[in-house]
Amino acid sequence: MQYEIYMKKCIELAKQAEGETSPNPLVGCVILDSNGQEIANGYHARYGENHAERDALLKINKGEGNTLIVNLEPCSHFGKTPPCADFIIEKGIKRVVIGMQDPNPIVSGQGIEKLKSAGIEVITGILENECKKLNEIFIKNMLEKKPFIAIKTATTLDGKIAASNGSSKWITSEKARDEVKRIRKRYDAIMTSSSTIIADNPTMLHRKKIILDRELKTNLESQIYKNGEIYLFNATLDMFEGGINFIKAPVIDNKLDLRFVFKKSYELGIKSILIESGGRLNGSALEFVDKIYHFIAPKITGDNTALSCFDFQKITQISQCINYEFESTKQFGPDILLTYQRK
Residues with active-site annotation = 53
Question: Which are the contacts of 198, defined by CB distance < 8 A and separation ≥ 6?
Answer: 217, 218
Three-state DSSP string of 137-199? HHHHHHHHCCCEEEEEEEECCCCEEECCCCCCCCCCCHHHHHHHHHHHHCCCEEEEEHHHHHH
Query: In this structure, what DSSP letter does residue 130 have?
Result: H
Residues 327, 132: Cα–Cα separation, whole Å = 13
CB-neighbour burial class of residue 91 (10 A; exposed 0-12, middle 13-18, buried 19+): buried
Q: Are 246 and 238 in contact (CB under 8 A)?
A: yes
Residues 211, 54: Cα–Cα separation, whole Å = 39
